[in-house]
Amino acid sequence: MKNTVLIIGAGAAGLMAAHTLCKAGKAVTVLEARNRTGGRIYTLNDTTFFNQTELGAEFVHGDLPVTLKLLKEAKLPYRSADAEMWRYEKGRFEENSMIIEGWDLLIKKLNELQEDTDIYNFLQMEFPGDKYAELRDSAWKFVSGYDTADPHKASTSALRKEWQHEEENAQHRVNGGYCSMINYLVNECEAKGGEVLLSSVVKEIRWKKGNVKAICEDGATYEAEQILIAMPLGVLQADKEEQGAVTFHPEIPEYGRAIQQMGFGAVIKILLEFTDAFWLDKKTKAMTGKDVEKMGYLFSDEEIPTWWTQLPDQSKVFTGWIGGPAAADKIAMPDEEILEQGLQSLANIFNRDMNELKSKLIACKIMNWTADPFTRGSYAYDTVEAPQARKLLNTPISDTIYFCGEYLYQGVAMGTVEAALTNGEEAAKKMLK
Ligand SMILES: Cc1cc2nc3c(=O)[nH]c(=O)nc-3n(C[C@H](O)[C@H](O)[C@H](O)COP(=O)(O)OP(=O)(O)OC[C@H]3O[C@@H](n4cnc5c(N)ncnc54)[C@H](O)[C@@H]3O)c2cc1C
C-alpha cells in the first residue's frame, strides 16, 4: 500500500502540497470544508456580472518565483495590472502622491530600533504630539490598509523589513482568474490518483505517531499515516465551539499557544458593477484637472478608503477595500450597510449624488472575509512573537502532524498566494524526507 496523507484545506497551500505529494507517488486525500476549492482564491465565474473578477486574491505582486513557475507549468498566461495611483484627501485629487512627510525620518528611527515592539507603541514613543499626527496617521493607514494588521500588535521590526524592501513591483493578473491555477492543481492531483473531497468540515483530529484520524462534522472519518493542516490561521485561532475549528486529541498545547501568538488581519472586499465607468467621465476629469483614463488605484480618507478598477482591462467594476481594525469592527455589520458605506464613499470622492450611483449599480458582491467561518480574517502579519511561533509551527510533530499555509512562510512575499504555494511545497517536501 502507498503511504497515505490527509490534507485539511484545499487552498493554494494545501493543493500545492497535494500536487507535490501526488507527483511523488503518495496517496493523498484533501478534505475541504467549503463546496468549492481555492479558499482565499475565489474567482467569480458568472458571465453576466463580474466575469472573472476576484473576490479574494487578485494580484501577483511582482515576479514571484513559485507562482510564475506554476503558471508556466500550467500554461496559464498572465497580464499586467499596472495603472496609475491616485490619492483623494480633503477634497483634492492628486496623482502618484505616495510621498509622506517625515517618512525618511521614520525609516531612520526604525533603523535605530534595538528591541522589537508593536508599531503603535513605537510611533507613540518616537513620534509623539501634534507635530507628527499626520505621520502617525499615514503609518496607521499603511499598516491597517495594506498589511490589514492591527497596529497595536504588528511588529515594528517586521514592518521595517517590509518598508525598506518596498519596491515598485510590476503587478499581474492571471488570465482566466487565479482559480485557473487552483483548477490546474486539483486536476493534476486527481490525475495521479489523489482525491479532493468538498463539503468536508473537519472538526476533530485523533492522533498517535504514524496514525491520524480526521473526523468531520457529518461523522465521516478518514485515516492516514500523516496529516497536513492547511487551514487558515484565523480558523486555527478560533474557539473550539466555533464553526470550522478543529480540536486535537491528544492536545498539543505548545502549538496551540504558538498559533495564538501570530497575527491575522481583517479585510472586507467590495465589488460593484455599474452601467458605465462613471469615474472616468468628464466630471471627474474636471475635478482632477487631469486625464483620468489610467486612474487605477485610489486611496482616500473615506469610510471605505481604498478603491481600484480593472485597468488596464476595460471594465465597469469598481473594487472597494477596507482592512485592519476598521474592517474587524464591521464583523457583524450586514452587507447592505457595508454596501451603503461603499456607495457613500464613492459619492463623496467623485462628488455624485447617492441616488445617481444607486441607479447605475447593476450588481454587487460583498465578501466580509473576517466574518467568513472558514477564513476568519485576511492574511497573516508578524507580531513581536511571530518569528519564534512560526519556527515551532514549521516543525513537524512526530513525523505525523504537519502545518502549512501562507502564515508559515518566511520571506518577502508575506501574506500572499506566493507565500501559500511556497510553504505548501516546502511542507510536502519535508513529509517526503
Ligand atoms: C480579500 C483578500 C485579498 C487578497 N489579495 C491577494 C492578492 O492580491 N495577491 C496575493 O498574492 N494574495 C492575496 N491575498 C492573500 C491570499 O489569498 C492568501 O495568502 C492565500 O490564498 C492563502 O492560501 P492558504 O492555502 O494558506 O489558505 P486558504 O486559501 O484560506 O485555504 C485554507 C482552506 O482551508 C479550508 N478550511 C478551513 N477550515 C476547515 C475545516 N475545519 N475543515 C476542512 N477545511 C477547512 C478553507 O475552506 C480553505 O479552503 C488576499 C487575501 C484576501 C482575503
Span 166-202, pLDDT tens digits: 666 789 999 999 999 999 999 999 999 999 999 999 9
Residue nearest to atom 7 of ligand 1 (CA): 57
Least confident stretch, 146-155, 283-292, 382-391: 283-292
Same domain, residue pair 271 and 364: yes
Mean pLDDT value across the chain: 95
pLDDT at site 95 = 87
Q: Pick the atom of ligand 1 nearest to 15's CA.
A: 25
Q: What is the pLDDT of residues 33-50, one digit of tens each?
A: 999 999 999 999 888 888
Cβ neighbours of residue 92 under 8 Å, at least 6 residues apart?
A: none
pTM for the full predicted model: 0.97
Question: Which position has the higher pLDDT, 285 or 406?
Answer: 406
pLDDT at 45: 87
Nearest to 19 by CA among 181, 131, 128: 181
Mean pLDDT of 54-61: 97
Same-domain status, 257 and 192: yes
| Residue 254 forms part of a structural domain | yes
CB-side exposure of 175: number of CA atoms within 13 Å?
8
Tell me the CATH number at 218: 3.50.50.60
Residue 422: Cβ-neighbour burial (10 angstroms; 0-12, 13-18, 19+): buried
Q: Say whether both 193 and 337 belong to one domain.
A: no
Average pLDDT over every residue of 20-39: 98
- Could you tell me if 308 and 280 lie in one domain? yes
Q: How many CB atoms lie within 10 A of CB 155?
A: 23
Pick the last residue of a domain from 339, 368, 397: 368
pLDDT band, residue 363 (cuts 50/70/90)? very high
pLDDT in tens, 88-111: 988 899 987 667 788 899 999 999
- Indicate which atom in ligand 1 lies nearest the CA of residue 407: 26
DSSP 43: E
CA proximity to 180, closest of 266, 78, 303: 78
pLDDT at 51: 85
Full residue range of the structural domain in which residue 218 is found: 4-42+67-77+176-262+385-432
| Tally of structural domains, the chain | 2
Beta bridge partners of 364: 272
Mean pLDDT of 210-218: 97
Which pLDDT score, from 0 to 100, does residue 234 have? 98
Q: Who lines ligand 1 at CB under 6 A?
A: 8-14, 31-34, 39-41, 56-59, 61, 201-202, 230-232, 235, 244, 246, 267, 269, 369, 374-375, 378-379, 405-406, 415-420
In this prediction, residue 75 carries a pLDDT of 98
pLDDT at 96: 73
Q: Which residue lies with its CA nearest to atom 37 of ligand 1?
A: 374
Does a structural domain hold residue 389?
A: yes
Does residue 62 sit within a domain? no
Torsion sign over Cα 6, 9, 10, 11: negative
What per-residue confidence (pLDDT) applies to 1? Answer: 43
